[in-house]
Amino acid sequence: MSSSDSAQGPRSRRERPAKPALTRQGIIDTALAILREEGLDKVTMRRVAAALDSGHASLYVYVRNTEDLHAQILDVLLGEISSPEADAGTWRDRVKALLSSYRDVLFRHPEIARMAMSTQPSGPNYMALVEAILALLHEGGVPDRAAAWGVDLLLLYPTAVAVEHSTPKATKQKANALSTLATEIGDMDPARYPHLVRLGVQIVSGDGPARAGWAFDVLLDGILAAGSPPSHEAAGSPPSHEAAASPAPGDAAGSSPSTE
């Protein structure tokens, strides 16, 4: 042993570089890396803690639980959504473009699509998406309460479609199922299934974009036609100012509801 070594004294085998301080963003970034490399099933508090060389209990200071962690991952990915320009077509065109962009994000991250069905995001990117949809619905003349309820339906449809096609295997299975269905309908007894036989070709027609555009139109038309959903006045809550609002366009002031 040299004199310089003895002067420094023995070196502890436990010495190692100091760990970086835990942060909420660092936890989310680590979770995203695990998602991309190992899949959503591996994104657990213990797995993230191990990747950060920390105890999993320490993560709860920054993230409530695994569901909260998944919600934060979803919100980060929603930052990829492209918002249409103000002059990019009618308000309806822009609603459909915005919802299509949301759907495309979920298509790029299929495991997140499945998670979005059960996890309620609440981060800034999700709130920006909801705000943009509500602004467009307001521009289109949708009543406030109908918009507040309708935004959930508008987001649910593209989420469900993304889940349906969440893996290449699922997409192939869907195509095979449609092909099988077309064959089965062609072999059906028209006396027993007259409508299925008559509409068989139409039932399996249309590609993804065409069906999605039609579905968005149906939802928007329904929200516009349905008007505001019932308030809570029947439950004894104070009267709403909306109850005294002017009649909808085309309704005669003070007329009774149509029975058609």
pLDDT tens digits, 119-166: 777 889 999 999 999 999 999 999 999 999 999 999 999 999 888 876
User: How many other C-beta atoms are found inside a 10 Å radius of the C-beta of residue 29?
Assistant: 15
Domain 21-63 has CATH 1.10.12.10: no
CATH, domain 81-230, list 3.40.50.300, 1.10.357.10, 3.20.140.10, 1.10.150.240: 1.10.357.10
pLDDT at residue 17 in the model: 58
Which residue type, as a one-letter code, is found at position 137?
A: L
What is the C-alpha to C-alpha distance for residues 222 and 81, in angstroms, rounded to an integer? 25
How far apart are the C-alpha atoms of 177 and 147, rounded to whole Å? 35
Q: Would you give the distance in Å from CA 87 to the centre of its chain? A: 25
Structure tokens that stand for 3 in this block: 């004199």
Quote the CA–CA distance of 148 and 242 in Å, as a whole number: 14
Q: Full-prediction pTM beyond 0.75?
A: no
Q: What is the pLDDT of residues 10-41, one digit of tens each?
A: 554 445 556 678 899 999 999 999 988 888 88
| Rounded alpha-carbon distances, angstroms, from residue 157 to 63, 81, 189, 246 | 29, 16, 33, 32
Q: How far is CA 115 from the centre of its chain?
A: 9
For CATH 1.10.357.10, the residue range(s) in the chain are 81-230
Q: Where in the chain is the domain with CATH 1.10.10.60?
A: 21-63
Report CA-CA distances (Å) from 21 to 53, 58, 234, 244.
Answer: 11, 11, 54, 56
